[in-house]
């Protein structure tokens, strides 16, 4: 009889385990009845996830039988989960997924069967509705749509109106990077403020903007490393000159950039349009003190336009409800009203060109010195040069950041460091 | 002592068998002979299910490479590549530099605090204990943001305070040397209290009689410290050394969050390099190869540390 | 005794400890202050030193954006279930390793210790595949089960169990007590401090566990605190007030757990290994 006494213990453990597994949520969409019904799950982050959530209402007016569920993660966490899921042969993934454009090539290259080819579902007919640079970033090397374009980050230089005025610098007079450096020297002398923040050893965002405005990237069209191009040397030399003149605030990470901005430690920040939201959120008291101008040019050529960031929607092949997922992606990326929703509420700048006709773009922003900043950004979108991004973007960016640190902090020569960086990169990706 | 232990338990073993036979005649399933297997069963079964399979699978993965999303057998490729990878060597060197500098500093501070708290002079023991232990229980998310902001070169509180005593701005995260120092500071902040508590436990376990006997013999405080406290703490000390060594060789959180391995790979650690290869560059096979070379290194060092002090367990 | 220490001695010792305390808990204080202010103010220089009046607002927005109460409940449920089960499993295994002779004992124990050396990053994907094939994605069991046999916990228990006198167990056997009864009424009862110590380690581990729950949990109703907190750190906008409040809340339970158990924790942490 003694045996019975121990039974509760064993049963206890077992039932705990079973209970735990029962009290769990269901995963995903199981009922595929008809073409456009069922439940789909979307992974996104931050305000983009909020926008997707907002959009479900109008989406359901058109597709009442598709239930949409949006899960909000940190963007790094989405990639982590996605990587694990894809590596486990497409398990546990959502039906629709948000991804930054620069990551698309690495995922589609490594997991070619991982995502639904949108061209095959008819997305090609929307090609004309987006800017060429955005279209290029969401297609694979065969020219097929792998992702549906959503937001873009046209670049500009955000600047402090009061500092510029105090130093007597006219922002309209800044045409080239040389002008920018001269203006910076003046501002530094009179206000004591540095010109711009750069996370020297970890982030080469400014460098990449400079490449893109000249129409190139880390790679040539064949996808080979090309960071010793004239364009690259020019770009890194400007950054070196900025640093040599003590105009660069070497900050740490995203929080560092925000800190520098909020505390007025820098007179300008070259960044993507979405930075407007950040400035407004974190420094509400600096209303009227900020404005924007286009990136300065290189006197050797190129444009004043570039793009920082931007994201798109993908459908993992493991979805049980491809039709419903595509319906959502198609609706979401091509519906003007929906795109304006995300822009007005959260500052996610649409790549759908038709949205730019909306009167909202013509409005003056009182926070930004009553300028029509959004119109300005909108006008630049179709002009942004398309560039080649490859699967090795992350490695390239890392390698260049290291070179940037060596040039700026250790005073090495630009040519030598970029040479070495290219060699390193070639070794890593071959 | 250990050997004596074994002899002793051997004696008991015989007795147990005797008792076991007795109970068997009563028709019991759980006898002193079968009991240990029942007691370790849950642990072993769970271990088999959730550790053994992933370990074997990832070990096999280290002989494979990903081609077009499919895993293909590639022999020892990943391992030969590893031995020619300068970045791997650098991560190895970095990790060992951190190990050699950080672990002694941390254990020294931890021991000092533990001895201080143990002395009868200090009141409010629980307040101090919980205070020193706090960093070990912080959510990593919080700790990372705190230190990013504290150690910011231009606007961080630390440089601000240093500027008050006329120390020049320290480039915490952008200078290769200072970045290592920053990692060491954060690691020490996080784990000193943890080790301190372990030392404190060890100190409280030293029998009072030893000290009393020494007092009768006329030993002074310092002599007692070196002749009783230190030798008595030895097993605990080894324990913390082995644990901290394993922890540091697997160091990931701090460089991942604070420096991402930079500047110029100065804070790239082995596990961070492993992670980058697996999760950023999707080279899971290579990442696995790194992992198992690391396991080998940890195994060898732990074995060596234990041998060095005489194998106890 | 007391007269041995001069006032100067005391001042030196206390200032040493006080500096240590400031370094240790300063960041927490700052975190707490951040939780009581609106977002941007965390960056102010010089920093805010006094609590603000924004705590309630931050909590309300945190509840709205994450469903904080549910998240705390999830975390508590997972961590407590894990701690209770894993402590029992560790105690049982530690008991077997310390107090019995059986075939393969040392080999199994050695294997157990080996698993400590394997970095978790490498087993993440196979473990995930395993959970997929068990259809355990997005379940609490998937979070709780893989680490239940916690090598460090078993090791600590084994070291402690060694201090139980064999005569105690023998006496009970001779009195006719069954093996389970001996374990539950005698062994566990004498091992309370060790159980407390192991429980704290296990609770700390599971409460702060991040990557595994992140990978395995898919819907926000299931999230644990670290996973939910991480979603607050976006790229374009971070509400630092909410974040700091979330971080503050996430340290409170362990603090309380530690405060309650600290006496036993310290005496139980390594009781066994010293006595060797």
Residue boundaries of the structural domains of chain A: 38-152+310-362, 154-308+370-429
Indicate whether C148 belongs to any domain: yes
For C212, the domain range is 55-274
What is the pLDDT of chain C when averaged over all its residues? Answer: 85
pLDDT per position as a tens digit, A237-287? 999 999 999 999 988 778 788 888 988 999 999 999 989 988 988 888 999
> Which residues between 213 and 252 in chain B have a beta carbon less than 8 angstroms from any beta carbon of chain C?
232, 235-236, 239, 246, 250, 252
C140, C180, C234 ranked by CB distance to A45: nearest? C234
Average per-residue pLDDT in chain A? 88
Mean pLDDT of C187-210: 89
- Cβ–Cβ < 8 Å for C63, C70: no
pTM, entire model:
0.82
pLDDT value, residue A324:
95
Q: Is the dihedral of CA A116, A121, A125, A126 positive or negative?
A: negative
Q: Give the number of other CB atoms < 10 A from CB of residue A235.
A: 29
In this structure, which CATH number among 3.20.20.140, 3.40.190.10, 2.40.30.10, 3.10.20.70 belongs to the domain A154-308+370-429? 3.40.190.10
Could you tell me the pLDDT band of residue B234, with boundaries at 50, 70 and 90? confident
What span, in angstroms and rounded, lies between the C-alpha atoms of A425 and A218?
10
**C119 with B312: Cβ contact below 8 A:** no
Asked if the structure places residue C46 within a domain, the reply is no
DSSP state of A102: G
Residue B149 has pLDDT above 50, yes or no: yes
Q: Quick one: how many helices (H) and strands (E) in chain C?
A: 15, 0
pLDDT at A190: 95
Q: Which among A80, A259, A402 has the least Cβ separation from residue B155?
A: A259
Q: Is the pLDDT of residue B25 over 50?
A: no
- Domains held by chain C: number: 1
Residue C241 lies in a domain: yes
* Chain A nearest-CA residue for C125: A84
Q: Looking at residue C111, which CATH number applies to its domain?
A: 1.10.3720.10
Q: Is the pLDDT of residue B11 over 50?
A: no
Residues C86 and A17: beta-carbon distance below 8 Å: no
In this prediction, residue B138 has a pLDDT band, given cuts at 50, 70 and 90, of confident
B64 forms bridges with which residues in the sheet?
B73
**Predicted confidence (pLDDT) per residue in A124-155, tens digit:** 999 999 999 999 999 998 899 999 999 999 99
CB contact under 8 A, C139 and A81: no
| A chain contacts of residue C129, beta-carbon cutoff 8 Å | 88-89, 91
A307-314 and A148-160 beta bridge pairing: antiparallel
Q: How confident is the model over A203-219, as a mean pLDDT?
A: 95
Is the four-CA dihedral A331, A333, A336, A337 of positive or negative sign? positive
Q: Which of C129, C180, C220 is opposite residue A71, by nearest beta carbon?
A: C220
Question: Residue C162: its chain B contacts at CB < 8 A?
Answer: 5
Q: Is the pLDDT of residue B303 over 90?
A: no
CATH topology agreement for domains A38-152+310-362 and A154-308+370-429: yes
The 3-class secondary structure across chain A, one letter per residue, is: CHHHHHHHHHHHHHHHHHHHHHCCCCCCCCCCCCCCCEEEEEEEEHHHHHHHHHHHHHHHHHCCCEEEEEEEECHHHHHHHHHHHHHCCCCCCCCEEEEEHHHHHHHHHHCCCCECCHHHHCHHHHHHHECHHHHHHHECCCCCECCEEEEEEEEEEEEEHHHHHHCCCCHHHCCEHHHHHHHHHHHHHHHCCECEEECCCCCCHHHHHHHHHCCCCCECCCCCECCCCHHHHHHHHHHHHHHHCCCEEECCHHHHHHHHHHCCCECEEEEECCHHHHHHHHCHHHCCCEEEECCCEECCECCCCCEEEEEEEECECCCCCHHHHHHHHHHHHHCHHHHHHHHHHHCCCECEHHHHHCHHHHCCECCCCCECHHHHHHHHHHHCCCCCCCCCHHHHHHHHHHHHHHHHHCCCCHHHHHHHHHHHHHHHHC
On whether residue C26 sits in a domain, the answer given is no
Whether the predicted pLDDT of C1 surpasses 60: no
C177 touches chain A (CB under 8 A): no
Q: Which of C129, C140, C214 comes nearest A20 by C-beta?
A: C140
The pLDDT value recorded for residue A189 is 95
Residue C269 resides in a domain: yes
Tokens 């110590």 -> residue: C197
User: Which residues, other chains included, contact A103 with Cβ-Cβ below 8 Å and sequence gap of 6+?
Assistant: A79, A393, A394
- Are A65 and A281 in contact by the 8 Å Cβ rule? The answer is no
Q: Is residue C11 part of a domain?
A: no
Candidates B4, B49, B50, partner chain C, best to mutate (most C CBs within 10 A): B50
Q: pLDDT digit string (tens) for A303-325?
A: 999 999 899 999 999 999 999 99
- Using CB atoms, list chains with 3+ pairs below 8 Å to chain A: B, C
The mean per-residue pLDDT over the stretch A76-93 comes to 88
Residue C197 lies in a domain: yes
Q: Is residue C160 part of a domain?
A: yes
Judged by CB atoms closer than 8 Å, whether chains meet at C265 and B197 is answered as: yes
With beta carbons under 8 A apart, name residues in chain C contacting B16. 170, 173
Mean pLDDT of A41-52: 91
> Hey, how many other C-beta atoms are within 10 angstroms of the C-beta on A4?
7
Find the closest chain C residue to A259 by CA distance.
C43
pLDDT tens readout for residues B106-124:
999 999 999 999 887 777 7
Query: Which residues does chain C have within 8 Å of residue A2's beta carbon, measured at their own beta carbons?
Result: 178
Joined tokens for residue B43: 């642990």
Residue A122 pLDDT greater than 90, yes or no: yes
Task: Please state which of the ranges A11-25, A352-366, C125-139, C222-236 shows the lowest mean pLDDT.
Answer: A11-25
Which domains occur in chain B, in start order? 2-78 (no CATH), 79-308 (1.10.3720.10)
How many angstroms separate the Cα of C126 from the Cα of each of A28, B43, B67, C149? 21, 20, 18, 18
Contacts of B250 in chain C (CB under 8 A): 119
Chain C interface includes B201 (CB < 8 A): yes
C214 chain-A contacts, CB cut-off 8 A: 77, 80-81
CA quadruple A339, A344, A349, A352: dihedral sign: positive
User: Which ipTM did the prediction report?
Assistant: 0.82
In this structure, are residues A256 and A263 in contact, taking their beta carbons and an 8 Å threshold?
no
At B298 the pLDDT is 92
Report which secondary-structure segment, H or E, holds A153. Answer: strand A148-160
Which CATH fold topology does A38-152+310-362 show? D-Maltodextrin-Binding Protein; domain 2 (3.40.190)
């Amino acid at each position: 009889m003694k045996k019975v006494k121990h039974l509760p213990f064993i049963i206890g453990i077992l039932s705990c385990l079973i209970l735990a597994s029962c009290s769990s949520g269901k995963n995903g969409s199981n009922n595929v009845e008809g073409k456009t019904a069922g439940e789909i799950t979307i992974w996104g982050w931050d305000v983009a996830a909020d926008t997707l959530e907002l959009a479900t209402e109008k989406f359901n007016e058109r597709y009442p039988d598709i239930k949409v569920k949006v899960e909000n993660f940190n963007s790094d966490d989405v990639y982590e989960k996605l990587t694990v899921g894809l590596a486990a042969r497409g398990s546990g993934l959502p039906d629709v997924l948000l991804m930054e454009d620069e990551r698309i090539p690495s995922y589609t290259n490594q997991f070619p069967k991982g995502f639904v080819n949108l061209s095959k579902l008819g997305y090609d007919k929307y090609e004309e509705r987006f800017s060429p640079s955005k279209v290029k970033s969401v297609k694979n090397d065969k020219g097929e749509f792998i992702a549906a374009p959503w937001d873009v980050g046209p670049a500009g230089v955000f600047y402090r109106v009061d500092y510029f005025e105090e130093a007597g610098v006219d922002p309209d007079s800044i045409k080239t990077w040389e002008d920018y450096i001269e203006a910076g020297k003046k501002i530094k002398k009179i206000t004591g403020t540095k010109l711009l923040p750069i996370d020297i050893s970890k982030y080469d965002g400014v460098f990449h903007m400079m490449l893109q405005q000249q129409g190139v990237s880390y790679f040539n069209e064949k996808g080979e490393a090309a960071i010793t191009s004239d364009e690259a040397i020019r770009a890194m030399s400007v950054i070196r000159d900025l640093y040599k003149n003590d105009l660069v605030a070497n900050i740490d990470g995203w929080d560092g950039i925000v800190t520098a901005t909020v505390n007025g430690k820098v007179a300008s920040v070259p960044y993507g349009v979405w930075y407007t939201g950040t400035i407004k959120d974190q420094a509400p008291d600096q209303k009227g003190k900020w404005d924007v101008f286009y990136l300065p040019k290189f006197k050797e050529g190129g444009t004043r336009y570039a793009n920082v960031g931007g994201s798109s929607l993908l459908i993992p092949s493991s979805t049980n409800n491809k039709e419903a997922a595509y319906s959502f992606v198609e609706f979401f990326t091509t519906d003007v009203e929906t795109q304006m929703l995300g822009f007005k509420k959260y500052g996610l700048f649409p790549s759908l060109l038709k949205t730019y006709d909306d009167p909202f773009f013509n409005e003056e922003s009182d926070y930004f010195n009553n300028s029509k900043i959004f119109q300005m950004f909108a006008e630049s979108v179709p002009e942004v040069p398309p560039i080649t991004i490859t699967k090795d973007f992350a490695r390239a960016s890392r390698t260049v950041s290291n070179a940037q640190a060596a040039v700026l902090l250790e005073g090495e020569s630009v040519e030598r460091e970029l040479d070495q960086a290219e060699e390193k990169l070639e070794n890593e990706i071959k | 002592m250990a050997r004596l232990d074994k002899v002793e338990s051997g004696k008991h073993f015989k007795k147990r068998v005797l008792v076991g036979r007795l109970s068997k005649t009563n028709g019991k399933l759980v006898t002193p002979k079968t009991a240990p297997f029942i007691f370790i069963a849950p642990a072993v079964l769970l271990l088999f299910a959730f550790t053994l399979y992933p370990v074997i699978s990832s070990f096999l993965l280290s002989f494979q490479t990903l081609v077009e999303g499919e895993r293909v057998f590639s022999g020892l490729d990943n391992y030969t590549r590893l031995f020619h990878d300068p970045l791997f060597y650098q991560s190895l060197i970095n990790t060992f530099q951190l190990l050699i500098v950080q672990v002694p500093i941390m254990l020294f501070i931890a021991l000092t605090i533990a001895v201080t708290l143990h002395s009868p002079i200090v009141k409010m023991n629980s307040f101090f204990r919980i205070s020193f232990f706090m960093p070990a229980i912080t959510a990593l998310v919080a700790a990372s943001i705190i230190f990013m902001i504290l150690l910011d070169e231009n606007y961080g509180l630390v440089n601000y305070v240093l500027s008050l005593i006329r120390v020049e701005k320290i480039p915490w995260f952008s200078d290769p040397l200072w970045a290592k120092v920053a990692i060491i500071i954060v690691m020490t902040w996080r784990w000193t209290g943890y080790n301190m508590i372990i030392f404190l436990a060890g100190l409280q376990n030293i029998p009072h009689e030893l000290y009393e006997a020494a007092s009768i013999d006329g030993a002074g405080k310092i002599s007692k410290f070196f002749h009783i406290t230190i030798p008595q703490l030895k097993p605990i000390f080894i324990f913390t050394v082995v644990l901290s060594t394993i922890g540091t060789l697997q160091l990931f959180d701090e460089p991942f969050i604070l420096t991402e391995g930079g500047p110029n790979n100065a804070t790239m650690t082995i596990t961070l390099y492993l992670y980058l290869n697996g999760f950023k560059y999707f080279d899971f096979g290579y990442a696995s190869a790194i992992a198992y070379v690391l396991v080998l290194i940890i195994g060898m060092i732990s074995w060596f540390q234990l041998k060095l002090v005489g194998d106890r367990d | 005794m007391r007269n041995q220490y001069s006032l100067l001695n005391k001042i030196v010792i206390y200032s040493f400890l006080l500096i240590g305390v400031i370094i240790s808990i300063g960041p927490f204080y700052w975190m707490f202050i951040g939780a009581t202010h609106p977002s941007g103010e965390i960056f102010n220089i010089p920093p805010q030193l006094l609590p603000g009046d924004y705590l309630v607002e931050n909590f309300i927005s945190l509840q709205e954006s994450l469903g904080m109460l549910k998240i705390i409940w999830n975390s508590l449920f997972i961590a407590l279930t894990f701690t209770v089960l894993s402590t029992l499993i560790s105690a049982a295994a530690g008991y077997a390793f310390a107090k019995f002779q059986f075939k393969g004992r040392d080999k199994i124990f050695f294997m157990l210790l080996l698993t400590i050396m394997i970095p978790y990053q490498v087993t993440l994907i196979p473990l995930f595949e395993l959970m997929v094939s068990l259809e355990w994605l997005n379940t609490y069991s998937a979070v709780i089960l893989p680490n239940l046999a916690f090598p460090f916990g078993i090791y600590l228990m084994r070291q402690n169990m060694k201090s139980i006198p064999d005569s105690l167990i023998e006496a009970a056997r001779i009195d006719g007590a069954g093996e389970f009864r001996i374990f539950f009424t005698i062994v566990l009862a004498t091992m309370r401090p060790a159980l407390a110590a192991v429980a704290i380690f296990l609770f700390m581990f599971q409460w702060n566990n991040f990557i595994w729950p992140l990978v395995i949990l898919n819907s926000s109703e299931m999230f644990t605190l670290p996973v939910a907190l991480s979603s607050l750190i976006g790229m374009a906008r971070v509400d630092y007030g909410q974040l700091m409040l979330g971080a503050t809340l996430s340290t409170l339970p362990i603090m309380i757990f530690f405060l309650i158990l600290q006496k036993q924790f310290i005496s139980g942490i390594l009781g066994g290994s010293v006595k060797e």
